[in-house]
Amino acid sequence: MAKKPIELGEAELAVMRALWDHGAQTVREVMNRLHERGKNVAYTTVLTFLTRLEQKGVVASDKRDQAYVYKARISRQSVTISRIRSLVDQLYDGAAAPMLAQLIENERFTPDEISQLRKLIDDLDPKHPSKGE
């Protein structure tokens, strides 16, 4: 069977972000990160999230001193990939290229991003090795 796609809500994702951005933390620390970002959630709310996330298997906890320290067990990348994947499947029948084309045409990119993008594309194409330089 395929690995069940782990569903993460928006607020749960914000918690994951705190862990990705600042490493393993206690409930209180995560709460502070969220507050810094303008999410004024209650301590117990954060605790609930972390608990649920642990049940989902995406974070792990470790008792240290008085409090548990939580750390992410999945990467930001894996979440990105799975989100994109499901979007592509749902809206473009799995064909990523048309979707990417949409993005390229509609997003505003800085010149810098554009060259990065080109490099990425070039790396896919053996005929255009963007090596050297």
What is the distance of C-alpha 101 from the center of its chain?
A: 22
Site string for DNA, 95-124 (x = CB under 7 A): ------------------------------
The residue (of 52 and 73) whose beta carbon lies closer to DNA is 52
Hey, which bits of the chain come out as E strands? 25-26, 59-64, 67-72
Near DNA by CB under 7 A: residue from 5, 9, 23, 94: 9
Nearest to 19, CA basis, from 49, 42, 56, 64: 49
Nearest to 72, CA basis, from 8, 1, 119: 8
**Of residues 75-104, those binding its own copies (CB under 8 A):** 76-77, 79-81, 83-84, 87-88, 90-91, 96-97, 99-104
Q: Which residue type occupies 88?
A: V
Site string for its own copies, 4-23 (x = CB under 8 A): ------x--xx--x------
